[in-house]
Amino acid sequence: MIIKNGNIFTMAGEPLERGDILIKDGKIKEVGVDLNYEEEEIINAEGKIVIPGMIDAHCHVGIFEENMRAEGSDGNEMTNPVTPELRAIDGINPFDKSFEDAREGGITTVVTGPGSANVVGGQFVALKTYGISIDEMILKEPVAMKVAFGENPKRVYREKGKTPMTRMATAAILRETLLETLNYIEKKKVAKEKGEFFEKKLKYESLIPVIEKKIPLKAHAHRADDILTAIRIAKEFDLKITLDHCTEGHLIGEQIKRSGKDAIIGPTMTTNSKIELSNKTFKTPKELVNKGVKVAIMTDYPVIPIKYLPVCAALAMKEGLSFYESLKAITINAAEIVGIDNRVGSIEKGKDADIVILSGSPFELSTKTLYTIIDGKVVYKEA
């Protein structure tokens, strides 16, 4: 396949006017102007906008199914506040309509997984939005370990009369779990050195990639003090962490910048449905970018329909975020923050051919998705 004559935002350099993208075996083979080609399938993108496939860096696509209640709600195991052994891939339905909606909206990758009922909720996965088998859709698994601060764990377990009922308990439970994992690793090491049998525990095995900094904690935190608690614990244990939601991030921009942590902001296109959302604003992305923080924007689907990811970025642009930073927040920044930028997030030679062709600016409501291409295959085409 070759895409010809498009106005290409590669997200890896200056935009290309009347540029071409050559695709071979699901990968981007070449990007340039007036490329030579002998391809059977030609897409003429003259006068159209071409961008990398969009990425939702935090959502619950497929694990909270559309039009479902208990039957399709598989995101929160509300029986124990510490469940790191849970894997999103075992609860996602690839036939859920949200995947179809994502493709229609130009979203080619979703980072999806457990909700925020538990202090430690389980493993997130990065998926392509096309396929019938989760195992074949996986881009990276696990991509992160979900943890939660603030109101949600408190509310869930207060109703059960169990800990955690306070923010102090939430932080203590997370610290205790991390310490137990460190002790587990040491005992495992000693047993191996002595040639002794060691009984593995899935709970702690699941957290070893976190301790080894192979994956980050994905920290649900809205309020400023919760964000700072997440940063504090990550520093104590020398862990990678992303600040997800980061609703009051604009109030502590300097502290977030000094921490060196990245922010995944949203869902902002909602009502202030709980106390910790009182200071929610679309100004947050601009304020953090101005401080030098790397920012992505998310839908937190099903809170916001997945196909409205670019609308969320457009509303941030309306509040002062530049066009290019808004586009980065749903493409290359999202990929870099979650650690999948070696394959997606920009239109570059060697990367997956995940590409979207649009009738106009991605941030205009009247713009239509003309083509969504995943791994070099057209998976959505405007009728």
Helix (H, G, I), strand (E, B) or coil at 32: strand
pTM for the whole structure: 0.97
d(CA 206, CA 218): 14
Q: What is the pLDDT of residue 12?
A: 97
Average pLDDT over residues 284-309: 98
Burial 271-305 (b: 16+ CB within 10 A, else e): eeeeebbeebebebbbbbbebebbbbbbbbbbbbb
Q: Which residue type sits at 266?
A: G
Sign of CA dihedral 63, 67, 72, 74: positive
One domain, residues 121 and 212: yes
Q: Which of 37-46, 74-83, 248-257, 359-368 has the lowest mean pLDDT?
A: 37-46
Q: What is the pLDDT of residue 66?
A: 86
| Domain containing residue 136 | 54-344
One domain, residues 161 and 301: yes
d(CA 371, CA 42): 13
Q: Determine phi and psi for 169, rounding to 5 degrees.
A: -70, -40
One domain, residues 206 and 123: yes
Q: Which of 68-77, 93-102, 315-324 has the lowest mean pLDDT?
A: 68-77
Average pLDDT over residues 70-86: 95
One domain, residues 200 and 273: yes
The helix (run of H) or strand (run of E) holding residue 103 is helix 97-105
One domain, residues 19 and 165: no
d(CA 311, CA 296): 13
Q: Is 69 exposed, middle or buried (0-12, 13-18, 19+ CB in 10 A)?
A: exposed
Alpha helices in 306-354 (DSSP H): 309-318, 323-328, 332-338
Sign of CA dihedral 80, 83, 88, 91: negative
Average pLDDT over residues 223-234: 98
Q: Which of 1-10, 21-30, 36-45, 90-99 has the lowest mean pLDDT?
A: 36-45
Q: What is the pLDDT of residue 29?
A: 97
Q: What is the pLDDT of residue 69?
A: 77
One domain, residues 362 and 304: no
Average pLDDT over residues 327-346: 98
Specify the DSSP class assigned to residue 122. Answer: E
d(CA 352, CA 375): 6
One domain, residues 38 and 65: no
The end-to-end CA distance of the chain, in Å, is 20
Q: What is the pLDDT of residue 211?
A: 98
All residues at 6 or more sequence positions from 93 whose CB lies less than 8 Å from its CB, including other chains: 62, 63, 65, 72
One domain, residues 158 and 43: no
Indicate the pairing of strand 241-245 with strand 217-221. Answer: parallel
One domain, residues 249 and 205: yes
> How far, in whole angstroms, is CA 238 from its chain's centroid?
22
Interval 11-46: pLDDT, tens: 999 999 999 999 999 999 999 999 988 878 999 999
One domain, residues 354 and 226: no
Whether residue 263 has pLDDT greater than 80: yes
For residue 262, list its beta bridge partners: 242
Tokens of 309: 């990811």
Counting the structural domains of the chain, the total is: 2
Q: Tell me how crowded residue 191 is: count the other CB atoms within 10 A of its CB.
A: 13
One domain, residues 19 and 64: no
Tokens of 17: 């006017």
Q: What is the pLDDT of residue 70?
A: 84
Q: What is the pLDDT of residue 215?
A: 98
Q: What is the pLDDT of residue 274?
A: 94
All residues at 6 or more sequence positions from 378 whose CB lies less than 8 Å from its CB, including other chains: 371, 372
Interval 111-149: pLDDT, tens: 999 999 999 999 999 999 999 999 999 999 999 999 999
Indicate the pairing of strand 138-148 with strand 54-59. Answer: unpaired
Contact assessment for residue 150 and residue 226, using Cβ atoms and an 8 Å cutoff? yes
d(CA 55, CA 308): 12
Helix (H, G, I), strand (E, B) or coil at 356: strand
CATH number for the domain spanning 150: value is: 3.20.20.140
pLDDT tier for residue 103 given thresholds of 50, 70 and 90: very high
Mean pLDDT (the chain) is: 97
One domain, residues 12 and 86: no
CATH number for the domain spanning 2: value is: 2.30.40.10
Tokens of 33: 């102007």
